[in-house]
Structure 1
Amino acid sequence: MEKFVQLVVDGLSTGSVYAALALAIVLVHSATGLINFAQGGMAVLAAYFAWWLTNQGLPLIVAILLSIVFSFVLGAAVERWLMRRFERGDPDTAIVVTVGLLTLITGIAGWLWSYNNQQFESLFPLDTVSFLGVSVSVRSIGTTLVIVAAMILLQLLFVRTKLGLALRAVAINPQSAAFSGLPVGRLLMVGWGLAAVLGAVAGALVAPRLTLTPGMLDNALVYALAAVILGGLTSPFGVVIAAWLIGVLENLAAVYVPFIGFDLKVAVPFILIFVVLLVRPQGLFGRKTVVRV
């Protein structure tokens, strides 16, 4: 029983990493209607910026706060000077552009700071807490709490604030939003900027668990996209639950399902996607889109 609980706890910790990126993807989609495949690269760039600032002698918390500001500016600039040229066209073209942007950002990070592994200081202590035979690191607890707070704030943003409602209106129908007097261009920049901020938080949380490299979040991005599909593109709450579910089931399947093991556990989220899409194409917590024709 202790082994089972330990696997669940470790899965929740890993799932929180996926959830951080998934929330940023949901934010961009809710604000622009696009899937941003460059989200992981932008998060890594923010983590490198914070790491560089710490090497200049700044305290870690100050470096992370400055990287958050840097990320907001970067996200807004990407929307204004790059994505805006494609947002009104074919969505598939815009998605391909984000894939190219991911490759570009990864290359820039490697060119500036090399592809060698770098150590990133953790925001939380490395101590562990033991309870009923289960060991949980303080870092995992802190990461999970930050993700829960981000999920709640994002849900409140889109449901309870005028800014969130305006972002949703722009994503659903930018032409009607413009006719209603909403500043569509500025709202799109804000949406991308806020998503980049979430990415910066994700990078700061993930980098200490791994080693800081340009491709640090490539695998996590795949799991984050799986969580978005499972949880639903319209539900911050849903993608976090889906990310936790993926992390837990992946751990349990690796240990308790012999033919899967640790080598094939990467297939677990894709099996879940297949099953869920057959039953609920909009995701576990997503809303159906009704189109009048």
Structure 2
Amino acid sequence: MGDLIQFIMTGLTIGSIYEIVALGFVTIYSVTKIINLAQGEFVMLGGMLMITFVGMGIPFVIAFILTLIMVTIIGWVLEFAVFRRVKDADPISLIILTIGIAILIRGLASIGWGKGSFRLESFTAHAPLKIFNATINIQSIWVMCIMLAVVIFLYIMMEKTILGKAFRGTSDNPVAARLMGISSVKMATLAFMLSGGLGALAGVAIAPIMFPSYDLGIMLGIKGFSAAIFGGLGSAPGAVIGGLVIGLVESLGGGYISSGLKDAITFSFVLLLLLIRPSGILGEKSVGKGGL
């Protein structure tokens, strides 16, 4: 029982991170139909900037706010300076472009921070909890609480505000949204900024657990994208489900089968589902690029 609880809590923790990363993918894709494979780099930047600000002696809360603002601005810069200029490019070209951006960000990060790993102190200094001989890190609870807060925030913003309704309208039918006076360009900007903020939030949350380095975003981006595909690209609820399921599969597979094969088990599980349901659990039946 202790091992099972330990594996489930670990799965929920890493699944919460994958879910936030997946929501970043979904946020951009829903409006622009761009698959941003640089999303993992937003996470890396969030963790590294937070560690840098705290190391400079800036109070934790202020450092947290500065990190969110800076990565959000980076998301805006990418949309304004790059993607807005190539909005009519074909999907393959856009995917290659996002891969190039990811490589560029990783390269700059390796120059700025070096290739070593860093660690941020936990948000709170409480001792780990003991449940049926399972050790539950307090930071894991923080990560799950942040995931829940993100889901609630996005729900309120999308369902209860005019801005959210405009965002959903652009996602559902860009042409009709433009006819109603909704600027698809502004919604695309919002999508990239929101995606950057989500990535930064995930990076800060995992910094005390995963020892961020310049290449942290590679695997997190792949797992987050897998979660988005698993849940259904374009579906926010699907991203939540996909992230949590992939986290649990990875943790249980690594714990009960082999830790060395956990990634192979996870991706095999995702591939099996996609063979059965190519659109994912809650996804669209077709995936293609729509214009801004």
Report the TM-score, using the length of structure 2 for normalisation: 0.90
| 1: CA distance, partners of 2:198 / 2:124 | 18
Residue 268 (1) aligns with residue 265 (2): yes
Specify whether residues 263 and 131 from structure 1 end up closer, same or farther in structure 2 by C-alpha distance, changes over 3 A only.
Answer: closer
Please name the residue that 1:58 is paired with.
58
Unaligned runs of 5+ in 1: none
2:231/2:242 contact within 8 Å kept: yes
Please name the residue that 1:32 is paired with.
32
Please name the residue that 1:199 is paired with.
199
For residues 163-187 of structure 1, what are the alpha-carbon distances to aligned partners after superposition, in whole Å with 9 as ceiling and x for unaligned? 2232233345544433331122222
2:41/2:221 contact within 8 Å kept: no
Please name the residue that 1:281 is paired with.
278
Please name the residue that 1:74 is paired with.
74
| 1: CA distance, partners of 2:207 / 2:135 | 21
For residues 140-181 of structure 1, what are the alpha-carbon distances to aligned partners after superposition, in whole Å with 9 as ceiling and x for unaligned? 011011112212322333333322232233345544433331
| 2: CA distance, partners of 1:277 / 1:161 | 34
2:119/2:209 contact within 8 Å kept: no
Instruction: Tell which deviates more after alignment, 145-154 or 282-291.
Output: 282-291
Instruction: Give the 5 Å matches for 1:144-293.
Output: 144-257=144-257, 261-288=258-285
| 2: CA distance, partners of 1:175 / 1:41 | 32
Q: What secondary structure, in the 3-state scheme, does the structure 2 residue paired with 1:208 have?
A: helix
For residues 24-67 of structure 1, what are the alpha-carbon distances to aligned partners after superposition, in whole Å with 9 as ceiling and x for unaligned? 11111123221111111122223322222222221122111011
Aligned residue type for 1:112: G
Quote how far apart the aligned CAs of 1:71 are: 1.6
For residues 218-244 of structure 1, what are the alpha-carbon distances to aligned partners after superposition, in whole Å with 9 as ceiling and x for unaligned? 212211111111111233232222222
Q: What secondary structure, in the 3-state scheme, does the structure 2 residue paired with 1:130 have?
A: strand
1:154/1:236 contact within 8 Å kept: no
1:223/1:269 contact within 8 Å kept: no
Aligned residue type for 1:8: I
| 1: CA distance, partners of 2:237 / 2:287 | 22
Specify whether residues 116 and 256 from structure 1 end up closer, same or farther in structure 2 by C-alpha distance, changes over 3 A only.
Answer: closer
Q: Identity across aligned pairs (percent)?
A: 30
Aligned residue type for 1:271: S
Quote how far apart the aligned CAs of 1:287 are: 4.3
Q: Which has the higher contact order (CA 8 A, sep 6+)?
A: 2
| 1: CA distance, partners of 2:174 / 2:125 | 45
Please name the residue that 1:15 is paired with.
15
| 1: CA distance, partners of 2:195 / 2:114 | 26
Instruction: Give the 5 Å matches for 1:100-115.
Output: 100-115=100-115
Instruction: Tell which deviates more after alignment, 125-134 or 97-106.
Output: 125-134
Report the TM-score, using the length of structure 1 for normalisation: 0.90
Count how many residue pairs are aligned between Structure 1 and Structure 2: 288
Instruction: Tell which deviates more after alignment, 123-132 or 75-84.
Output: 123-132
After superposition, the CA RMSD in angstroms is: 2.1
Q: What secondary structure, in the 3-state scheme, does the structure 2 residue paired with 1:207 have?
A: helix
1:86/1:93 contact within 8 Å kept: no
Q: What secondary structure, in the 3-state scheme, does the structure 1 residue paired with 2:216 have?
A: coil
Aligned residue type for 1:275: L
1:233/1:286 contact within 8 Å kept: yes
